[in-house]
């Protein structure tokens, strides 16, 4: 019996995806676990895996076309099986959005509207380069980030002539920008002009009637946000608008934690153990003791997850990704280190899995490597809290009535004050601090 293969939700924020390439063709035999297609989302290029076996009877959504989450993108079934009428209908409704129905009547000529009464900012593209961008098919075979492909297309840069500096020779944004910087074919940035009621324009300043006053400003360029940066912007704006943030800060004596980390990383089974791995394990410990901080607002109620899935906020070429360590409370410190290192490497290498980018219940933002004394983080929408981790610093501390030189670290917990109050936040930090100042608790 034929099975519809639908566009899955490959991350918590995904609503649609662009099929970059099909890894299988019609008539191919498919087994469970086979990669069917590569999909571009706002966050990363991800792969669609088959959970069924059979023959790929029909590709419904072709490469380089957009599909919404839940749309049928392919049909799988027995060899020689005929595609059902239902699937054929779905084929038509799932076609690329820019394909108009053959029977659609011509659109009426729009009626001219009155000139807007307020000045408008409009882009002037008259200076745009006339060269054609490289074809999509030529860049598909080249390893490049989505943003790099976009910038290359906009600036008429042939990706086959670029040497990538990313993992496995992957072309990233800076590789394109370096090329564009020395290329005369780069497309100029649109010039924004203020248009007044009378239609006159100026390169800057304000407009009143037909008059405009010049307003000198610094020279510069405006470039379009990448899909990932645009998503980050909207998500952070949503979080600040919807969730009233409340902050709790603690200072932790990191002497014992650093000694444990230094001793363990010398062992072959703990190779690569970092302080951040202890922090992830400590967060899981604290959340198991104060599970209310793991909650979130959902559908007007309090969502209580059955797992502690910790997201590691990770900087990548195009912005940020948050790979998730699932059921961290059930893992040993060694398992946390292995899983976290692998997930971060996949994110930085541009090859996260869909499981990496979904299901998080709590997040950690660690800026300790940047010599940051203290900061606050914005809660990831869909979660109730985020922990901001600052640098470990050497300073005088008081221990048993004596002043000693020690190493301390500040952390700030941001919580959604609709469901998590100060007492809950303070309780979480109490257990978090306890586990790092007595790190034997992390080895249990």
Query: Mean of the per-residue pLDDT values for the chain?
Result: 81
Task: Inform me whether the pLDDT recorded for 86 exceeds 90.
Answer: no
Closest CA to 141 of 118, 171, 115: 171
> Minimum mean pLDDT among 18-32, 44-58, 210-224, 277-291: which range?
210-224
> Phi/psi at 360 (nearest 5 deg)?
-65, 145
> For position 214, what pLDDT does the model report?
53
Task: Inform me whether the pLDDT recorded for 237 exceeds 70.
Answer: yes
Average pLDDT over residues 197-218: 46
Band the pLDDT of 297: cuts 50, 70, 90: very high
> For position 218, what pLDDT does the model report?
73
Six token digits for residue 376: 């606050």
Q: Are 96 and 126 in contact (CB under 8 A)?
A: no
Task: Inform me whether the pLDDT recorded for 199 exceeds 50.
Answer: no
> Minimum mean pLDDT among 72-81, 279-288, 401-410: which range?
72-81
Task: Inform me whether the pLDDT recorded for 303 exceeds 90.
Answer: yes
> For position 371, what pLDDT does the model report?
92
417 is catalytic: yes
Band the pLDDT of 317: cuts 50, 70, 90: confident
Beta-strand pair 362-366/310-312: parallel
The residue among 410 and 149 whose pLDDT is bigger is 410
The residue among 52 and 182 whose pLDDT is bigger is 52
Task: Inform me whether the pLDDT recorded for 273 exceeds 70.
Answer: yes
Spatial distance between the Cα atoms of 327 and 90, rounded to a whole number of angstroms: 38
Q: Could you write out the three-class secondary structure of 230-271?
A: HHHHHHHHHHHHHCCEEEEEEEEECHHHHHHHHHHCCCHHHC
> For position 170, what pLDDT does the model report?
78
Task: Inform me whether the pLDDT recorded for 240 exceeds 80.
Answer: yes
Question: Model confidence over 133-185: pLDDT tens digits?
Answer: 444 444 345 778 777 787 888 787 888 778 887 767 778 877 887 776 544 33
Average pLDDT over residues 214-242: 85
Six token digits for residue 251: 């200072």
Task: Inform me whether the pLDDT recorded for 254 exceeds 90.
Answer: yes
**Quick one: DSSP state of residue 294?**
G
Task: Inform me whether the pLDDT recorded for 299 exceeds 50.
Answer: yes
> Minimum mean pLDDT among 119-133, 235-249, 352-366: which range?
119-133
The residue among 128 and 350 whose pLDDT is bigger is 350
Closest CA to 145 of 341, 366, 352: 352
> For position 36, what pLDDT does the model report?
92
**Which residues are within 8 A (CB) of 297 and not within 5 positions of it... i.e. 6 or more apart?**
243, 303, 384, 416, 418, 419
Closest CA to 58 of 25, 30, 29: 25
**Other beta carbons less than 10 A from residue 349's beta carbon:** 13
Average pLDDT over residues 61-67: 91
Spatial distance between the Cα atoms of 63 and 401, rounded to a whole number of angstroms: 69
The residue among 285 and 176 whose pLDDT is bigger is 285
> For position 354, what pLDDT does the model report?
84
Band the pLDDT of 217: cuts 50, 70, 90: low
Q: Could you say which of 15, 52, 245, 417 is catalytic?
A: 417
Six token digits for residue 177: 């920008």
> For position 116, what pLDDT does the model report?
42
Band the pLDDT of 80: cuts 50, 70, 90: confident
In DSSP terms, which residues pair with 259 in a beta bridge? none
């Amino acid at each position: 019996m034929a099975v519809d293969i639908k566009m899955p939700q490959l991350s918590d924020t995904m609503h649609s995806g662009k099929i970059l390439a099909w890894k299988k063709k019609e008539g191919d035999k498919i087994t469970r676990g086979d990669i069917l297609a590569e999909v571009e989302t706002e966050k990363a290029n991800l792969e669609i895996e088959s959970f069924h076996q059979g023959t790929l009877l029909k590709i419904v959504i072709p490469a380089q076309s957009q599909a919404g989450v839940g749309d049928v993108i392919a049909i799988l079934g027995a060899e020689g099986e005929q595609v059902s009428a239902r699937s054929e209908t779905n084929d038509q409704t799932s076609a690329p959005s820019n394909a108009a129905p053959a029977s659609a009547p011509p659109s009426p000529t729009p009626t001219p509207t009155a000139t807007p009464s307020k000045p408008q900012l409009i882009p002037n593209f008259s200076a745009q380069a006339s060269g054609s961008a490289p074809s999509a098919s030529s860049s598909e075979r080249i390893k490049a980030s989505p943003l790099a492909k976009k910038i290359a297309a906009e600036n008429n840069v042939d990706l086959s002539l670029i040497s990538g500096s990313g993992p496995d020779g992957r072309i990233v944004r800076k590789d394109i920008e370096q090329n564009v910087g020395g290329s005369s074919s780069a497309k100029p940035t649109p010039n924004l002009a203020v248009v007044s009621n009378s239609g006159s324009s100026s390169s800057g300043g304000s407009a009143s009637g037909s008059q405009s006053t010049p307003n000198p400003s610094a020279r510069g360029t405006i470039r379009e946000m990448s899909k990932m940066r645009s998503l980050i912007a909207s998500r952070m704006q949503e979080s600040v608008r919807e969730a009233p943030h409340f902050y709790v800060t603690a200072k932790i004596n990191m002497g014992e934690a650093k000694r444990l980390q230094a001793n363990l990383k010398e062992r072959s089974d703990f190779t690569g153990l970092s302080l951040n791995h202890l922090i992830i394990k400590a967060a899981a410990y604290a959340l198991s003791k104060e599970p209310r901080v793991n909650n979130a607002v959902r559908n007007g109620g309090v969502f209580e997850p059955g797992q502690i899935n910790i997201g590691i906020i990770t900087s990548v070429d195009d912005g940020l990704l948050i790979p998730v360590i699932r059921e961290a409370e059930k893992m040993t410190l060694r398992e946390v280190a292995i899983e976290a290192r692998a997930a971060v490497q996949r994110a930085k290498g541009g090859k996260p899995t869909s499981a990496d980018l979904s299901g998080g219940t709590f997040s950690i933002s660690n800026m300790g490597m940047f010599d940051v004394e203290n900061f606050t983080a914005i809660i990831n929408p869909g979660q109730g809290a985020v922990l901001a981790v600052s640098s470990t610093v050497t300073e005088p501390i008081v221990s048993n009535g004596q002043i000693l030189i020690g190493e301390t670290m500040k952390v700030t917990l941001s919580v959604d004050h609709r469901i998590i109050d100060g007492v809950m936040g303070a309780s979480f930090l109490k257990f978090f601090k306890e586990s790092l100042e007595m790190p034997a608790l992390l080895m249990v």
